[in-house]
Structure 1
Amino acid sequence: MVLVAPVTGEVVPLEQVPDAAFASKAVGDGVAIRPTGKLVVAPVAGTIAKIFNSNHAFALVADNGAEIIVHIGIETVKLGGQGFKRLAEQGARVNAGDPVLELDLDYLASHAQSLVSPVVVSNVDQYAGVANPASGQVQAGQSALFLLKGKK
C-alpha cells in the first residue's frame, strides 16, 4: 500500500523529528514532513478513527487495517486547537487526498515548538515494514510518501 503525502512540504527522516517518541519509532514507523502547504489530506483510503479535540493530529484506519497517525508539528496539542481547522469528522470515510485539516502556517510557525509533522504506521509490526521513503519536496495528495509492505 502506497501512502501519499498528507501535506505539501519537505520530507524529514523520522530520526530527525525533535520528539523522542517519534524519533525512536516508539509510536510507529514512517517519515515526517516540514509543511509548506496549509491543507492536510488523508494519506490513504480508510476511516478517520480519531481526530484529537485540539485538531493537531488524526488517526486513520486504512482499508487494509493499517493504523496511520498524522501528527502536525511537535507539542502542538498545547495550542488547544489554535492554528488548526477541522475539515472532516471522526468516523468519516475518506479517500487518499480528501481534506482533513487546514493549517494556519503563520500562527503555527510562531507558536509551535516545531512544525515537523510525523506520518507513521502505528501497527507497523503487523506488516513487513516501511520501504521507499520519499525525499525532498512532496505535494499533498499527489506524491508517494512511502510504501507499507504487506502483512507478515
Structure 2
Amino acid sequence: MGRPDLITDPRFATNTARVANNDILDPIVAAFMAAHTQAEALAVFEQAGVTVGPVCDPADLMDSQFIREREALISLPDADMGRLPMHNIPARLSATPGAMARPAPALGADTTAILRLIDVDPATIETLQARGVLKATAPDQP
C-alpha cells in the first residue's frame, strides 16, 4: 500500500496485534481502497502475496474466473425460464464427483411419489387426489 511504516509498527507486527489495533488499521486500509479501483487494489495485494479476492455482486459472480473455473454455477433447464443458473454441488470428490440429477421440481410435483415411498396407503393417496389436495399423476409416473 506504499506504507513501509506499517511493516515496522509493533501495533501491526502480528495478526494478534493487528486485530487488537483494528480500529487504527481499518481506516488506513479503507483510505487505500477508496483511492484505488478494485482492480488496482487487487493487483497491489496480489503482487504482495496477500490472500485476497474481490467483493462481487451477483452480476460479477457470473463472470468471475474463479466461479467459471470451479464450475460453481451451472445452467439447468427450467420450465419457466428456459435455463436457470444454479449452484453446483459444492464438494465434488474425484472418486464420487456427484452431479445435479435434475433441476428442482415444481411445487408438489414429487408429493405422490414421496407418499408412496413412505408407504402411505394407495387408497389414501387416491382420496387426496380426488379432493384436489394432491395433483393426480399419470399412471406411468412414480
The structure whose Rg is larger is 2
Question: Please, what TM-score do these two structures have when normalized by structure 2?
Answer: 0.19
Considering fraction of residues, name the structure with more strand: 1
Structure having the larger proportion of residues in helix: 2
Taking structure 1 as the reference length, the TM-score comes to 0.18
